């Protein structure tokens, strides 16, 4: 059994027919993990407490091995967000997405590595050590969901759940040659996700195909009253009924002129778009003048929210606790030892932009520009069905190739805008470069129009194969 080439639907059909059993799939998953994960290090922990009997008729995910990113709570298991400060934190309840998986009798085989507190684009900042790209172990798998992307790309599990704040599902999916879906903000419950940036964080799947991404989304994309940002079905329908697929793809050409875009990435993107044109899609250029400011806006708003959310790790209630000479000194010792350099950098940046005398100049202006970008995206979807760009400006890069934070931040330039606006987006493999490393095509749809993404995505997969 090869998880890489077998869809969830096919696995389900084989389980129901008795061709394979949950035990045999779990054995296969553990075998591949044993064979490959010593060098890849996608897993922080492999669980040994899966239920002994699985009702394969309980749902389409029943009996199929999967894993979750280390910032998604699974009751009775450690959830550390790959950070020393939560090294021994044991989840006291299940995240809503985990509850939904358990209702389907999905088999959760372990927790997956990630950048410390979900801050990074290479999975080099994890407290537990780096994760390697299974396609070339000298290269990064992307981040912050590098563990989930690597586990799926290596065939260790059929699919995985990650989180996406600025591209953390889509960018590693592109680096590892798999599919990554960032659902609409509010369509998947964040209850039980360790918060990093609450107005941007979204849980989504990393899979081997668009069909599989659709299957997972249909399970986890439910309304949850325990999450006050979860959007009701009635509101979702109001957005969905306004949109019909006329097969028009818009390309923000000026946005593709960013510094650092690999010429091979651009060549692959243009070639892929031509294939969509052959497949019956109309390609038009669109103007989104403020999109170029998205990364700057993101790196003001996201650190601001980080500084607020991570203030709770004070060493008093839970997590790492180091005693100092007084309370303030205890805070300093705990947070200095508990957080990595990138997390500390963003906390300091966020505290600065929220400080007296600067919040008007930075934070409130960034919020205003975020609203402007969101409005531009909404307006452009009145004339096109999908916005297309590359997923990332470069393919997976070698470890240590990007030594300064800014060069790493630029890897999210094409994905960040749609966390700011909340729109659903997906990364789909679109071929390989001269060194055999995968490219990613990035499609974005109107709010709550995941179905449109899946339709276009499947058309794209067929077009690439032809």
Instruction: Tell me how far the alpha carbon of residue 52 is from its chain's centroid.
Output: 31
What is the CB neighbour count within 10 angstroms for residue 314?
A: 16
**What contacts 258, CB < 8 A, 6 or more positions away?**
292, 393, 410, 413
Among candidate residues 80, 144, 158, 187, the one labeled active-site is: 144
Beta-strand pair 43-46/202-207: unpaired
- CA–CA separation, 298 and 419 (whole Å): 9
- Please say if 230 is a catalytic residue: no
Which residue in 69, 182, 335, 452 is the catalytic one? 69
User: 220-242: b or e for each residue (b if 16 or more CB lie within 10 Å)?
Assistant: bbebbeebeebbeeeebeeebee
CB 414 within 8 A of CB 257: no
**Spatial distance between the Cα atoms of 65 and 62, rounded to a whole number of angstroms:** 9
Rounded Cα gap, residues 447 and 458, in angstroms: 19
Active site residue 323: no
The residues that bridge with 160 in the sheet, in sequence order, are: 67, 206
β-strand pairing of 107-112 with 386-390: unpaired
Q: Looking at 125, 145, 163, 168, which residue is catalytic?
A: 168
* Phi, psi dihedrals of residue 367, rounded to the nearest 5°: -65, -40
The span from the CA of 450 to the CA of 285, in Å, is 22
Judge whether 249 and 388 are in contact, CB under 8 Å: yes
Question: Cα(215)–Cα(280) distance, rounded to whole angstroms?
Answer: 25
Q: Coil, helix or strand for 131?
A: coil
Phi then psi for residue 284, to 5 deg, are: -130, 150
Q: In the annotation, is 126 catalytic?
A: no
Catalytic residue ranges: 69, 144, 168
């Amino acid at each position: 059994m090869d998880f890489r080439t077998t869809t969830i639907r096919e696995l389900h059909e084989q389980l129901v027919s008795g061709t394979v059993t949950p035990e045999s799939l779990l054995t296969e998953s553990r075998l591949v993990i044993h064979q490959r994960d010593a060098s890849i290090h996608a897993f922080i922990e492999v669980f040994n407490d899966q239920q002994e009997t699985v009702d394969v008729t309980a749902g389409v995910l029943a009996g199929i091995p999967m894993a979750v990113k280390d910032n998604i709570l699974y009751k009775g298991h450690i959830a550390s967000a790959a950070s020393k400060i939560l090294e021994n934190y044991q989840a006291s309840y299940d995240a809503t997405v985990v509850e939904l998986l358990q209702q389907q009798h999905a088999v959760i085989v372990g927790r997956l590595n990630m950048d410390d507190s979900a801050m990074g684009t290479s999975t080099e900042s994890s407290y537990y050590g780096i994760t390697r790209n299974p396609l070339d172990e000298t290269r990064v798998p992307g981040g912050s969901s590098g563990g989930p992307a690597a586990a799926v790309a290596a065939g260790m599990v059929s699919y995985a759940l990650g989180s996406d704040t600025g591209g953390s599902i889509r960018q590693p999916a592109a680096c590892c040659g798999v599919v990554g879906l960032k659902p609409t903000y509010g369509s998947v419950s964040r209850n039980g996700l360790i918060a990093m940036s609450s107005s941007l964080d979204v849980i989504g799947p990393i899979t081997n195909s668009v069909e599989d991404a659709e299957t997972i989304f249909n399970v986890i994309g439910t309304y949850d009253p325990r999450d006050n940002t979860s959007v009701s079905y009635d509101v979702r329908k109001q957005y969905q009924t306004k949109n019909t697929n006329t097969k028009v793809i818009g390309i923000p050409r000026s946005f593709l002129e960013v510094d650092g875009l690999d010429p091979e990435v651009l060549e692959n993107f243009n070639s892929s778009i031509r294939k969509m044109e052959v497949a019956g899609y109309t390609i038009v250029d669109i103007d989104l003048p403020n999109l170029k400011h998205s990364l700057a806006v993101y790196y003001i708003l996201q650190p601001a929210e980080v500084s607020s959310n991570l203030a709770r790790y004070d060493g008093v209630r839970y997590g790492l606790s180091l005693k100092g000479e007084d309370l303030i000194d205890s805070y300093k010792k705990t947070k200095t030892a508990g957080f990595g350099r990138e997390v500390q950098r963003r906390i300091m940046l966020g505290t600065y932009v929220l400080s007296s005398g600067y919040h008007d100049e930075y934070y409130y202006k960034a919020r205003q520009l975020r609203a402007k970008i969101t409005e531009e995206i909404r307006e452009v979807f009145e004339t096109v069905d999908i916005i297309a760009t590359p997923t990332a400006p470069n393919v997976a890069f070698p470890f240590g190739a990007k030594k300064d934070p800014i060069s790493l931040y630029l890897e999210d330039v094409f994905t960040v805008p749609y966390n700011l606006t909340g729109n659903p987006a997906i990364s789909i493999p679109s071929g390989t470069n001269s060194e055999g490393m995968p490219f990613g095509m990035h499609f974005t749809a109107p709010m709550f129009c995941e179905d449109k993404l899946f339709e276009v995505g499947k058309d794209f997969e067929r077009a690439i194969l032809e």
